[in-house]
Amino acid sequence: MKLDNISKIFNAHSEEIKALDSVSYEFEKQKFYAIMGHSGSGKTTLINILGLITKPTQGKYYLNDIDVSTLNDEELSRLRMSSIGFIFQDFKLDEHMNALDNVILPMLINKKISPSERVSLAQELLKSVNLDNRLKHFPKELSGGEQQRVAIARALANNPEYIICDEPTGNLDEKNERMVFELLKELTSNGHTIIVVSHSEIVKEFADIVLNLQAGKLSDE
Ligand SMILES: Nc1ncnc2c1ncn2[C@@H]1O[C@H](COP(=O)(O)OP(=O)(O)OP(=O)(O)O)[C@@H](O)[C@H]1O
Ligand SMILES: [Mg+2]
């Protein structure tokens, strides 16, 4: 992942907001990055660009050497599905599906995983986050920490190279927070690159690299 002079300007209510201001940075593979910064400093905007959700106003973003500005919407969504897994503060699980089905869901649009493989793969992923005893539970029957672990398993469903997390532990107590960061950290040795936005100082115990955003400017800590 390489950002080359990326800026993002929002025009809202006849005001121009520069959410990102000339950000250049290259993310190394198989590292755990923590992005920290005050509310409104541009963290979500930055990871939404990295995650191919938002397009920058200025600058180039290269994902595995592909200039993503050359891709059409269909190519972008295919690249997003195959390369990026998302984890959010509020888990964003489907309330009407049990843990197993939540993890299977992203596999349904992936031609590389056959229908017969889906269930066993989802079971394996839930086992890897220590939830093999909660497969049939619905989100409301799970604790916050358990729900976030289902979300981690779901983010891994299509084996994406990058896992992008926006405040993944914002709704968790310290014990569950450490568990989530520990699981994410372990993923770097399986080939994944982890990018976590967090307000929590605890993330620094797990991150390989801590970056700071201040008024849309990115810097090493
Ligand atoms: N869609 C939008 N339209 C207009 N302004 C926006 C939009 N999204 C974000 N902004 C503005 O851009 C700035 C950066 O927002 P962003 O959500 O990236 O901050 P953040 O660092 O994630 O904050 P927080 O820690 O509170 O989540 C803010 O001033 C925000 O008001
Ligand atoms: Mg945010």
- Kindly list the structural domains of the chain, giving each domain's residue range(s) and its CATH number in brackets, ordered by start: 2-94+143-220 (3.40.50.300)
Ligand 1: atom nearest CA of 38 is: 25
Cα-to-centroid distance, 17 and ligand 1 (Å): 9
Smallest-distance ligand from the CA of 38 = 1
158-170 pLDDT tens trace: 999 999 999 999 9
79-110 pLDDT tens trace: 999 999 999 999 999 999 999 999 999 999 88
Alpha-carbon distances, residue 36 vs 1, 43, 63, 130 (angstroms):
18, 7, 22, 28
Closest by CA position to 180, among listed 168, 170, 191: 168
pLDDT score, position 145 = 93
Average per-residue pLDDT in the chain? Answer: 95
pLDDT > 90 in the chain, percent: 92
| 66: enclosing H helix or E strand | strand 66-67
Phi, psi (rounded to 5 degrees) for 75: -65, -40
Q: Write down the pTM of the prediction.
A: 0.93
Cα-to-centroid distance, 15 and ligand 1 (Å): 13
pLDDT band at 221 (very low <50, low <70, confident <90, very high): confident
177-200 pLDDT tens trace: 999 999 999 999 999 999 999 999
